[in-house]
Amino acid sequence: MSDRDPGQPGQDLRPSGSPSPGEPVFIAVGFLRRAHGIHGEMIMDVLTDFPERLKPRRVLYAGDEHEPVRLQSVRWHNKVMLVKILGYDSPEAAAKYRNTTLFVRMDELPELPEGEYYHHQLIGLRVVLESGETAGVLEEILTTGANDVYTVRKPDGSEILLPAIEDVVLKVDLDRGEMVVRLQEWG
């Protein structure tokens, strides 16, 4: 359900973890490791839950400078994706992108159904108990087999772990930058 994004370095972030309005936001979708074969393909670690959106002719943005590049080909090889960037037809040419993160623009992401959120939309939200008391700030989302788990940093510096389930997460209000939760009694 997520395209993971720590935000852009140097951007002013709002409480929700998002940059100021008007600034483009880039979401990491892959990490190019090294060339594979003799035709310029690169081994890419997939950083998105939607790898089916990485298709030939898709424009991605490479590195911290967000240089536009176009995918020429995409295929799975064992458990990694092999991608070829248009115009880079040899391992030597493709080496320019070794150890480079590939991004998409957030405004190019499809909308999710109501009640579903990208991780980058949730990181940084203020977490509030249903009583109105501040519990902390959502710092990290752990992806598990059953459901995500939210790591919340409390004001005293300690952390609590909250399962991302309906009984716990009562409301997400991106405009207010907060998530309302109900702590569970585990007996």
| pLDDT tens per residue, range 71-86 | 999 999 988 899 999 9
pLDDT for position 13: 43
pTM for this one? 0.63
What confidence score (pLDDT) does residue 178 get? 95
Identify the pLDDT of residue 162. Answer: 93
Q: Which helix (H) or strand (E) holds 80?
A: strand 80-85
Radius of gyration of the chain (CA): 19
Q: Which of 57, 157, 163, 172 is nearest to 114 (CA)?
A: 172
pLDDT tens-digit profile of 129-150? 999 999 999 999 988 878 889 9
- pLDDT at site 140: 92
Q: How far apart are the first and last CA of the chain?
A: 31
